[in-house]
Amino acid sequence: MKTVNKEVKISGQGIHSGLPVNLVIKPSDKPGIFFRRVDMAGTDLIAAVYDNVGETKMRNTTVGMTDGAHVQTVEHLMAALFMAGVDSAIVEIDGVETPILDGSAAQFYDAIVAAVDADKSKMKRIVVKREVTAHAAEILKQLPWFVRIQLWIMNKIAGRKSNGFVKLSPNDGKSLDIKATLIYPEKIIGNQSYEYSFDGTKKSVDVFRKDVARARTFGKYSEWEYLKKRGMGRGANESNVIALNDAGDGTLNELIWADEFVRHKIIDAIGDMFTSGGMVCGNLESYKGSHAMNNLVLKKLFSNPDNYDII
Ligand SMILES: [Zn+2]
């Protein structure tokens, strides 16, 4: 178990609310990552675990009760905590969502890693023993009809098909090997794949910081207009989201890498897998994956003790 050795303060703006938000990561002696909504008096700690993930709001991961205290867009912060080796902390936050910062995990990671002792303490390992898969179609079926219609419209606008899946399968049990694939009708994204392996060594952390951490979230400009009308994406701008032009053949801001889009999916996958409470050891294949599928695959993994070992 590892916590931060001092408070880590991070401020910014929520991507959906557009409101300023402050968070403080505090040392803790309790295993697990917990959020506390300091703007909501008397609410309980919110555990950042897969079975406490609420409505995934199409584009982010939310922990807590949908109609009570909850925190949205935890995935980039969770990825940064995981990569810094922090599996015990209380995150106090004065708003409903974490600050988007530059849309990546780099600023979170740098702030957290500066407050972590370089010891060899290891995280709990969840070793995948049997293959489990979450399909996009299963997610659609679970949604209320009005959300299904919203999604259908958004997919129609974006020209997307929902045949994606997220699969966990056994490997040698010592690393989290992620392969992400994106297939978009927009030429600027097209068909992109990226692989990243985390085995707990400093080398694999350095690769994350260099090749993955800075990859930003993305969206289509016309899709933002749709989201903004529905009270989402209000804080999205060119400093924190890669904006695809309407023709789909370019971006309004400059890309760090041509495949920055799929590299960002690696961050999302790492953050979501950390809601397992430890390091998932196995192959994670994300084919047109989503936060909802990442969550469902963990629920399936933990639904049967024969599917995994905890070390
Ligand atoms: Zn993301």
**Per-residue pLDDT tens for 141-167?**
887 888 888 878 877 877 777 789 999
Q: Return the higher-pLDDT residue of 68 and 134.
A: 134
Residue 187 lies in a domain: yes
Ion ligand 1 neighbours (CB, 5 A) are 217, 268
Ligand 1 centre to CA of 275 (Å) is 15
Task: Give the tens place of pLDDT for each residue, 206-220.
Answer: 999 999 999 999 988
Instruction: For residue 9, list its beta bridge partners.
Output: 24
Q: Is residue 107 pLDDT above 60, yes or no?
A: yes
Say yes or no to pLDDT of 133 above 80.
Answer: yes
Residue 242 has pLDDT above 60, yes or no: yes
Domain limits at 88?
8-310
**Residues in contact with 106: Cβ distance below 8 Å, sequence separation at least 6, in sequence order:** 209, 213, 214
Q: Can you give the pLDDT at residue 258?
A: 97
pTM of the predicted protein model: 0.94
Indicate whether 91 belongs to any domain: yes
Angle in degrees, 0-180, between the axes of helices 75-83 and 260-273, rounded to the nearest 10: 80
| The pLDDT of residue 176 | 98
Is 2 within a domain?
Answer: no
Distance, CA of 254 to CA of 267 (rounded, Å): 19
Distance 59 CA to ligand 1 centre (A): 8
Mean pLDDT calculated for residue range 235-262: 93
Task: Give 75 Cα–ligand 1 centroid separation in angstroms.
Answer: 6
Q: Tokens in use for 249? A: 């053949």
Whether 3 is covered by a domain: the verdict is no
What's the pLDDT band for 58 if we cut at 50, 70, 90? Answer: low
Handedness of CA 100, 104, 105, 110 (dihedral sign): negative
Residues 70, 135, 264, 291: which is the catalytic one?
291
1 located within any domain = no
CATH number at residue 15: 3.30.1700.10
Average pLDDT value for residue range 281-305: 97
- Does the structure show a pLDDT above 90 at 226? no
Domain count along the chain: 1
Does residue 76 carry a catalytic annotation? no
**Would residue 305 count as lying in a domain?**
yes
For residue 309, pLDDT over 80 is answered with yes
